[in-house]
């Protein structure tokens, strides 16, 4: 049986995250339904990450063993006929039998979108957090630089997480502006529960003047969740890229 690596993108608005749940609709369930229609049996699908309720993905990778492989074009085209408009495949290839979408992933890039327009805008509402007051993206980008490197990010992990090791390496963290949008882009070897959304909330505190850019190292060092900002809404968060090459992850 060929082992396939399928790449999809999805709007997570109406889904309770990736992983199958008993009493809630998830991306994995809908994708498995489509795969079953194509291949004729319920296949075990391995996802690259556990995205939360309402989080979106520009790139999400899954691996699964299929009874046959009709090639990329026919696989993607057929699956897209069975998938709803808010979940679509865009790449597929055969990989080695030992490949696993989650365990072979060496890093991820997330984008958090903040709509910084003065007034409400229906075209940003589903996919960004609205903050109408002034944001100095240059000062925020200076704050972002403090997140780069290997640190204990316990202060940026939501209560209730059962993860014991809270040390992660952030390769790149930057804040840029595109018109009325402020984009937070973070690339690392792994992320804690709600880590990016809490970092985004901390940047809102910097924008407000409640926190200074130079306070970030002290917040990290505190390892205290109460020192960091609020957890911003899931709708602004996108899993943007999944890395399977360490050279690409590290920018080599």
How far apart, in whole angstroms, are the C-alpha atoms of residue 36 and residue 44?
A: 10
Whether the per-residue pLDDT at 252 is higher than 60: the answer is no
Residue 9 confidence (pLDDT): 98
Confidence of residue 162 (pLDDT cuts 50, 70, 90): confident
**Residue 22 burial (10 A CB sphere; 0-12, 13-18, 19+):** exposed
Query: Reduced to 3 DSSP states, what percent helix, strand and coil does the chain have, rounded to the nearest 5?
Result: 30, 30, 45
Name the catalytic one among 11, 52, 86, 189. 52
Whether the per-residue pLDDT at 199 is higher than 70: the answer is yes
Share of the chain above pLDDT 70, in %: 99
Confidence of residue 26 (pLDDT cuts 50, 70, 90): very high
Record the pTM. Answer: 0.95
Q: Average the pLDDT over 219-232 and give the result.
A: 96
Whether the per-residue pLDDT at 8 is higher than 90: the answer is yes
Q: What angle, 0 to 180 degrees and rounded to 10, lies between the N-to-C axes of helices 195-208 and 137-145?
A: 130
Return the CATH class of domain 107-249: alpha beta
Whether the per-residue pLDDT at 221 is higher than 90: the answer is yes
CA dihedral 134, 138, 141, 142 (to 10 degrees): -120
Confidence of residue 164 (pLDDT cuts 50, 70, 90): confident
pLDDT tens for each residue of 63-77: 999 999 999 999 999
Whether the per-residue pLDDT at 250 is higher than 90: the answer is no
Confidence of residue 249 (pLDDT cuts 50, 70, 90): confident
Residue 72 confidence (pLDDT): 97
Catalytic residue check, 165: no
Topology of domain 3-95, CATH: Alpha-Beta Plaits (3.30.70)
pLDDT tens for each residue of 49-100: 988 999 999 999 999 999 999 999 999 999 999 999 999 999 999 999 999 9
Q: Do domains 3-95 and 107-249 have the same CATH topology?
A: yes
φ and ψ of 213, to 5 deg: -55, -40
Whether the per-residue pLDDT at 36 is higher than 80: the answer is yes
Q: What are the residue boundaries of the structural domains of the chain, listed by start? A: 3-95, 107-249
Residue 160 confidence (pLDDT): 74
């Amino acid at each position: 049986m060929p082992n396939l690596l399928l790449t999809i993108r999805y709007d997570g608005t109406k889904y309770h995250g990736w992983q199958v749940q008993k009493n809630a609709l998830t991306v994995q369930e809908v994708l498995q339904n489509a795969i079953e229609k194509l291949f004729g049996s319920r296949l075990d699908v391995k996802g690259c990450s556990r995205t939360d309720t309402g989080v979106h993905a520009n790139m999400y990778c899954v691996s699964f063993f299929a009874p046959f492989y009709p090639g990329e074009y026919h696989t993607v085209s057929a699956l897209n006929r069975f998938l709803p408009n808010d979940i679509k495949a865009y790449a597929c290839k055969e990989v080695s039998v030992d490949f696993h979408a989650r365990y072979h992933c060496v890093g991820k890039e997330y984008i958090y979108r903040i709509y910084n327009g003065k007034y409400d805008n229906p075209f940003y509402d589903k996919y960004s957090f609205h903050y109408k007051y002034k944001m100095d993206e240059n000062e925020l980008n200076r704050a972002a630089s403090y997140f780069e490197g290997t640190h204990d990010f316990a202060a940026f992990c939501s209560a209730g997480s059962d993860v014991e090791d809270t040390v992660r390496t952030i390769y790149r963290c930057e804040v840029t502006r595109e018109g009325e949008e402020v984009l937070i882009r973070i690339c690392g070897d792994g992320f804690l529960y709600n880590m990016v959304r809490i970092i985004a909330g901390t940047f809102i505190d910097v924008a407000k003047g409640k926190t200074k850019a130079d306070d970030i190292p002290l917040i990290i060092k505190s390892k205290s969740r109460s020192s960091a900002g609020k957890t911003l809404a899931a709708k602004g968060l996108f899993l943007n890229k999944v890395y399977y090459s360490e050279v690409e992850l590290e920018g080599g």
